[in-house]
Structure 1
Amino acid sequence: MTLLLLLLLVVSFSATGNWAQESQVWMWVCQEGKCVKQPLDRDMTPQGLQACKLVCDTYSTLWPRPRGKVELGRILAPINYNSITITGTSGDHRALSKNVGQFFNIAADTFSNQLTTLFKKREQRPSDGKSLQVRVTIRDSYTRALKIGSDESYELYISEADTEIQASIISTEFFGARHGLETLHQLITFDDVTDSLVIMRDVNITDSPAFPFRSLVLDTARNYFSVASIKRTIDGMAASKLNTFHWHLTDSHSFPFQSQTYPQLSLYGAYTPQQIYTPQDILSVVEYARARGIRVVPEFDAPAHVGEGWQWAGPNVTVCVNAQPWINYCVEPPCGQLNPTNDTVYEILGGIYHDMFALFEPDIFHMGGDEVNFGCWRSSPEIVNWMTSHHLGQTDDDYLQLWDIFQKRAYTKVVEANGGKEIPIVLWTSHLTAQGTVDKYLDNKTYIIQIWTKGSDKVIAELINKGFRVIFSNYDALYFDCGFGAWISEGNNWCSPYIGWQKVYMNNPYTMLTDLGVDISPGTEARELVLGAEAALWSEQVDESSVDGRFWPRAAAMAERLWSNPDEGWQKAEYRMLAHRERLVRQGIQAEALEPQWCYQNEGSCPE
C-alpha cells in the first residue's frame, strides 16, 4: 500500500471539492508510466482516466510533444470554469496592435470554447476550483502573416497561487502564442470521477518546431468540399500544430474557384452553381486559418490537370480534353492540358493568378507542374506545327523545352500578379525535375520542389545536392488516399496498401536523406534545405463525408514528426496518440479509431 500511495499522483482539491458520483465504480492509478484501472477506493484520492493520463506519461497527453525544455509538476488542481481570464499584451506591456489583437481574441475565444467542450456538466451545478489567469505576451505585436522563417516558439509557465492558477505564455510572434494556448489547453481536462475541471500546475515548457513547413494538401476539385469541412480540417491542424494548408483548388475534373476576372471558368467548370468557392468563401477560410496559426497556400496546377471550365476560352487553348482512350493522354480521366503555344492561355492565367493573389496574399505559391503528358501535346496539330516552325522536333527533350517555355512565361504572370515582386514557387517532382534535368530549367533560388515519389528516390539526393529546397510528400508514407478499392479498374488503387499512423510517424526526412548518402548534420546547408513535409489527400474517392477519417489521426502522426522529430519509435508515442485522437473527437473531428476503446482504458494490455 505504501508503494501504491507513492505512485499515486496527488490531485489538489478546493475546500468544496467534489467526490465521485454514486455511479462511479472505477478509478485509475498511475503505475510505472501506465494508467491502471482499479475499483474506486474512497480512502484514496480518486482520479478519472483523463486525469490519470494527464499526469502519467512523460510528456503528459501533449501532442505534438514539446521539443525543448519540459518540466511537468504532475499535480492537478481544480479550476473554476466560470472564472477564467485571458489577457494579451505586447513586449512593452502595451496593447496588441489591431491586426494581431484581432487574431489573439479569436485564439482566446477558441481556447475558452475548448474548455466549454471539456466541462460537459457545467450547466448542472456551479463550477468549483480556483480562478485561472492566462497572461500572454507577444513581443512582436504587428506581424499577422505566417511566412517561412516566422518564429513559432513559445514559453509556457503554470503555477498555483493562494487564490488562483497563473499561466504565462511568452512568444516573439502571434503564432508561438497560439501554439502556447494549444499546449495549455492540452494540460487541462475534465475529471469525470471527481467531477471537476483540472489543470496541471508547476509547468515549465520552452518549445519550438523542428521543421518550418508542416502541411496538409486537400484536393477540392475531384470532389467538392464545403467551407465548413475545410475549416474543420484546419481545426485539426491547429490542434496538432500544423501550419500550412495547401489548397489544390482546380483540376481537369472541375473548376470551383470563382475568378473575378474570368467568372466563366467556374460557370462552365463547377459541378453545380452551388459548388463553388466565392471570394467571400476564400477570404473566410484564409482569415480562419491565420487566426489558428496556419497559412493557406493556393495551387493552380498547370500546364496539365486542366479541362472543365475552359470550354468558353476558344479553340486550341486546351488540348486532349476528355480524349479517349484516356490512358494515351493522361494518368486518369478526364484528360486535358493547356496549349503552351497559344497566347490566350497566358492572358487567362494572368487573370487567375491576379485573383488568387488578391485573396490569399501568399508568401509562396504552388504552380503544380504535375504529370504533364507529352503524348497529349503531340496529338495537337497546332502544337506540332509550332514546334516545327521553332526548329524543335518531337522527342521528349524537345517537349521539355516547350514545357520550360510555358513555365517561364507563366512565372512572369505570377510575378505581375504579386505586384512585380518575385515569390518562391513550389512545383511537384516531374520530368522537369528528373535526374540530370532540374538545373537545366529551374533556378534553385526560386523553386521549391515537392517530392511525391518514394522516399528512396535518388532524385531527392540530387535535388538537395543542387541546392533546391524540398518538401517531402513521398507517396509511400504521406498519400492518405492509398489503400482503397480502385476506381478505374479492379482490385486496389495504385498506391496501396493503406498507410498506418505508425509508418507516417516514422517517416523522417533526415533519415531518408541519410540513407541516400546526403550529409544532413546540424549546421549543414543540406539540412537547411529540408523545409518539412506535407500529407496529401487526393479526392477521387473521398468527399466531406469521409475527409475527417482519412486525415485524422494520421496527419497528427506527421505533425509530431515535424514538430518534435523524436529519436524514439512510434511505440513510445502510442498512448499519447490514442489520447490525442480522443481529443480530436471531442472537438468535433471524426478521427478514425485506431484500437478498441478497451486498449485505451487498459494501457499495456494490447500488443505493441
Structure 2
Amino acid sequence: MNCLPFFIVILHLTNTQNVDSVWTWTCKNQSCEKVRVQPESKPISLAACKISCDPYGTLWPQPTGRVELGGELVPVDPNNIEINENGNENKLVRAGYRHFQTNLQKLGKGAEDQSGKGAKLIVTVKIEDPSQMQLRLTTNESYSLRVSQSSTGSINADIMAPTYFGGRHGLETLGQLIIYDDILNNLQIPNDVYITDGPVYPYRGVLLDTARNYISVDTIKRTIDGISASKLNTFHWHITDSQSFPYVSRSNPDLSRLGAYSPRDVYTPDDVQDVIEYAHERGVRVLPEFDAPAHVGEGWQDTDFVACFNSQPWGQYCVEPPCGQFDPTKPKLYDALEGIYKDMVRQFNPDIFHMGGDEVSISCWNSTYSIVKWMADRGWGTTEEDFIKLWNHFQTQALERFDKHTKEKLPIIMWTSTLTKKEYVEKYLPKDRYIIQVWTAKNDPEIFELLKKGYRLILSNYDALYLDCGYASWVGEGTNWCTPYKGWQSIYNNSPYIYNNANQFLGAEAALWTEQVDDTAVDNRIWPRAAALGERLWAEPAHTWREAENRMLVHRQRLVNRGIAADALEPRWCLQNENNCPT
C-alpha cells in the first residue's frame, strides 16, 4: 500500500470562527493531541486534525490500494453542489447521488448558514459498464477517486468504477472525506486526494433475524444504511422461524395470517419490494433465507407438514421453544415449498439463496411414528446415517422445486450441521453447488475438513460474530449460551486468514438473532460492532484493532449522525484524547 497521509492544514477562517475555543488539536505521531490555544494562534478542530493526521484520514474501512491525502483543507458550500450526470441515465447512479447529498446534508446541519462562503463541489461518477445492475459474487466493486481544485476555486471530485457498486463505494468515501469543523462552523474537504480501492472479499454480510421478534421496515432500513456506510454488501434476511411467520406469501397467505404475531407484524409484498429497492440503491444485496427443514412451526397449523410442533419438554426435541420441523415424508409439503420458493425468487431475484438447514433434530423425527414407519417401509433403520438419508430426501426434493423457478442454478448456502459432517457432506452437498456458512467456533475441526474437501465457506463463527451473545438467558438462569459479549475488537481481529485455505472463504457475516431483541435494541446491538467486520473484510488489514481504534470512534459518530443509534464504545474523552485510554 502507498499511503501519503500528511498534508498542510490551512484553514480558511471566516467570521463564524468560535472565538471561545480554548482547545486545539495538533498531530503528533499520527495521533491528535489536545492542547490549549496559545495567544495569537488559530485553533484547529479535532475533525480537521483527524483527517490530516491518520494515514487513512477518517475513512472506514481503510482503502486497499493507493492513498494520497494532501494539499489543503478547503471550505465547501453545502448549498452549492453540482452533480455532473454526464449524460448518465442510470437510475442507480442518480440514486447514489441523492444518497450522497442526503448524508452531506445531515453532516452539514450546523453549517447551513455558510451558503456562498465555501467552494463549489462538482461530483462526477463514471461507470464503465452501467448495464451491470445486479450485485453478484463476481461483481467488481473497485473504484478510484480523485479530488482536485480548479483554477476557479471549485472542488472537482471524479469517481471511476467498473460498476455502479464500486461507484457507490466511491461516493461513500467522498462523503467520509468531507468533515464538519465545529470551530469554523463549516464543511471542509482536502483539495488533493487520490485513492484506488476495492474489497478483498466478495461477501460481506449482516444477518438480521426478523422472526423471533418482529423488526419494523424502518429498522431494517437503518440496518441497511449502516451496512452501506461500512462498505458491507449483504443484508441476510432470516425472515421466518418456528416462533412466527411474518412473510406474506402470495402462494399461501394463510401462513402469515396464522403465523404472524399480529396482522400488523408482517412483511407484505410491497414491504419486501421496498426493502429490496432501498438496499439495491445503497449497493446492498438482500439475501433471503427460508430455513428448513427445522425452525418451522407457527403458520403451518392447518397442514400436517410439521412434526414435534411445540412438543414438551422442548429440550428433548429442539434447541429452543417452540420446536418444529418439516416431515419430509409428506408429498404435498413440496408443493407448498415450491410456492414459497416461487414467491421469493420473483420478489428477490437472488443471485444466491439460503436454504437454512440449521439444527435439525433427529430425536424429533425419531419420535414421530409415521416418519419411522415410512423409513422402515424403505428398509431404513433409525441410525444417524438413516436420518441423514431422510434429510437428503428432503433437501433433494426442495432443491428440485426451487430450481424450477430460477433462470440458472444458483449457489445455495447452508449452515454447518450434521449434514455437513465429513462423512456426509460430499455425498449429499456437491461443492460446485453449495456454499457452507460456518457458525461453530473458529477452532472447530469441521472447518478444516470442509476446507480440505474444497468447499467455499462464509465465516460466522459464534465466538466472534454472534451479536446477541453476553446477555441473560431467556430459557433459564444465568447468561445465554454463547456468552461472553463479543466486543468490536474481537470482531475486528477475527480474520479468515487464520486458516491456511483462506482463499476458499467468500467472506464472513455478523449475525443478530433476536430472541432478546426488538426494534428498541437492533441498532445498538449491531452497530458499530458490525462495522469492525466491514474493515476486516474490505481490507484484511495486517494490523490489529488497536491501530484502527481512532478511526472506529469517528465512524461510530458518523453512524449516529446518520440516524443510527450505534452503541457508545468509550467515554467521549477518549475520542478527544487519542491513545490515552488503551493499556
- The TM-score range, normalised by the shorter chain, is over 0.9
Q: Deviations over 1:309-354 (max 9, x none)?
A: 00122x3x11100000000100000000001000111010000000
Q: Do the aligned residues in 2 keep the contact of 1:392 with 1:398 (CA within 8 Å)?
A: yes
Q: Secondary structure at the match of 1:290?
A: helix
Whether the 8 Å contact between 2:21 and 2:43 is mirrored in structure 1 is no
| In 1, Cα distance between equivalents of 2:264 and 2:333 | 27
Alignment partner of 2:395 out of 407, 412, 419: 407
Deviation at 1:468, TM superposition (A): 1.0
User: What is the one-letter code of the residue matched to 1:363?
Assistant: D
Map residues 437-516 of structure 1 onto 2, 5 A cutoff: 437-511=424-498, 513-514=499-500
The answer to whether residue 418 in structure 2 is matched with residue 431 in structure 1 is yes
Which secondary structure does the structure 2 equivalent of 1:273 belong to? coil
Residue 543 (structure 1) aligns with: 518
The equivalent residue for 1:110 is 99
The one-letter code sitting in structure 1 at the alignment partner of 2:458 is I
| Separation in structure 2 between the aligned mates of residue 157 and residue 308 of structure 1, nearest angstrom | 54
Partners of 1:198 and 1:504 in 2: CA distance: 32
CA distance in 2, matches of 1:177, 1:391: 58
Aligned to 1:88, which of 76, 85, 88? 85
Does the 8 Å contact 2:111/2:186 carry over to 1? no
Give 1:252-267 correspondences, 5 Å limit: 252-267=242-257
Q: Give the gaps of 5 or more residues in structure 2.
A: 1-5
Find out whether 1:276 has 2:266 as its counterpart: yes
Unmatched 5+ stretches in structure 1: 1-6, 90-94, 521-526
Matches of 1:599 and 1:325, distance apart in 2: 50
Q: CA deviation at 1:466?
A: 1.3
2:51 counterpart of 1:54: yes
Q: Distance in 2 between matches of 1:302 and 1:61?
A: 43
> Which one-letter code corresponds to 1:104 in the other structure?
V
Counterpart secondary structure, 1:245: strand
TM-score normalised by structure 2 residue count = 0.97
Aligned partner of 1:119 in structure 2 is 108
The alpha-carbon deviation at position 42 of structure 1 amounts to: 6.1
Corresponding residue of 1:350: 338
The corresponding residue for 2:505 is 530
| Counterpart Cα distance in 1 of 2:469 and 2:81 | 44
Stretches (4+) displaced over 6 A = none
Q: Which residue of 1 aligns with 2:36?
A: 39
Match for residue 10 of structure 2?
Answer: 11
Mapping of residues 238-249 of structure 1, within 5 Å: 238-249=228-239
CA distance in 2, matches of 1:117, 1:232: 15
Query: After superposition, what is the alpha-carbon deviation per residue over 1:282-309, rounded to whole angstroms, capped at 9, x for unaligned?
Result: 0010011010111001000000000000
User: Which whole-Å CA distance do the structure 1 matches of 2:27 and 2:467 have between them?
Assistant: 35
Distance change (3 Å), C-alpha of 1:74 and 1:562: farther
Alpha-carbon distance in structure 2 between the residues aligned to 1:114 and 1:26: 28
The separation in 2 between residues aligned to 1:280 and 1:23, in whole angstroms, is 52
CA offset digits 1:182-223 (Å, max 9, x no partner): 000000011011121100121110000000000000000000
Deviations 1:539-572 (Å, cap 9, x if unpaired)?
A: 0011111011110111000110000000111111
Identity percentage over the alignment?
Answer: 51
Q: d(CA) in 2 for partners of 1:160 and 1:18?
A: 23
Q: Distance in 2 between matches of 1:407 and 1:377?
A: 15
Partner deviation per Cα, 1:60-91 (whole Å, 9 max, x = no partner):
010000011111106211111111112234xx
For residues 257 and 348 of structure 1, the distance between their equivalents in structure 2, rounded to whole angstroms, comes to: 14
Aligned-pair distance for 1:44? 3.1
1:300 corresponds to: 290
* Whole-Å separation in 2 of the counterparts to 1:74 and 1:349: 60
Q: Is the 8 A contact 1:157 1:169 kept in 2?
A: yes
Contact 2:7 / 2:70 at 8 angstroms: preserved in 1? Answer: no
Aligned residues: CA RMSD? 1.4
SS of the residue corresponding to residue 121 of structure 1 reads: helix
> Any conservation in 2 of the 1:28–1:48 contact (CA below 8 Å)?
yes
> 2: CA distance between counterparts of 1:441 and 1:196?
61
| CA contact 1:29–1:35 (8 Å) conserved in 2 | yes
Is 1:378 paired with 2:377?
Answer: no
- The reply on whether 1:180 has 2:167 as its aligned counterpart is no
What is the DSSP-based 3-state SS (H/G/I as helix, E as strand, rest coil) of the residue aligned with 2:476? coil
State the shift of 1:122 in Å: 3.7
Q: Paired residue for 2:203, among 213, 224, 228?
A: 213
Partner amino acid, structure 2, of 1:285:
V
Shift of residue 104, structure 1, vs aligned partner: 1.4
Whole-angstrom distance in 2 between the partners of 1:87 and 1:385:
70
Task: State how 1:354-369 maps to structure 2 within 5 Å.
Answer: 354-369=342-357
In structure 2, what residue type is equivalent to 1:478? L
Structure 1 CA distance, aligned partners of 2:420 and 2:72?
A: 54
Q: Is the 8 A contact 1:55 1:75 kept in 2?
A: no
- Indicate how the Cα distance of structure 1 residues 125 and 136 shifts in structure 2: closer, same or farther if over 3 A, else same: closer
User: C-alpha displacement at 1:31, in angstroms?
Assistant: 2.0
Partner letter of residue 366 of structure 1? H
2:23 corresponding residue in structure 1: 26
| Aligned counterpart, 1:92 | none
- Cα deviation for residue 41 of structure 1 reads 4.0
Contact residue 477 and residue 507 of structure 1 kept, 8 A: yes
Shifted more, 223-232 versus 74-83: the winner is: 74-83
Distance in 2, Cα, partners of 1:557 & 1:303: 33
Assess if the C-alpha contact under 8 Å between 1:251 and 1:301 holds in 2: yes
Task: State the aligned residue count.
Answer: 577
CA distance in 2, matches of 1:176, 1:343: 46
Deviates more, 1:189-198 or 1:403-412: 189-198
Greater CA deviation, 124-133 or 64-73?
124-133
Measure, in 1, the Cα distance between the counterparts of 2:116 and 2:479: 53
| Alpha carbons 2:111, 2:185 under 8 Å: kept | no
Contact 1:17 1:129 in 2 (8 A): no
Q: 1:79 aligns with which of 76, 79, 102?
A: 76
Hey, what does 1:136 align to over in structure 2? 125
Deviation at residue 125 of structure 1 after TM alignment: 5.1
Give the AA of the match of 1:384. Answer: V
Q: Following TM superposition, by how much is the alpha carbon of 1:484 offset from its aligned partner in structure 2, in angstroms?
A: 0.5
The residue number in structure 2 matching 1:582 is 557
Cα separation, 1, equivalents of 2:47 and 2:549: 15
| Residue of structure 1 aligned with 2:328, choices 333, 336, 340 | 340
Given that 2:32 and 2:53 are in contact with CA atoms closer than 8 Å, whether structure 1 keeps it comes out as: yes
| Equivalent position SS for 2:508 | strand
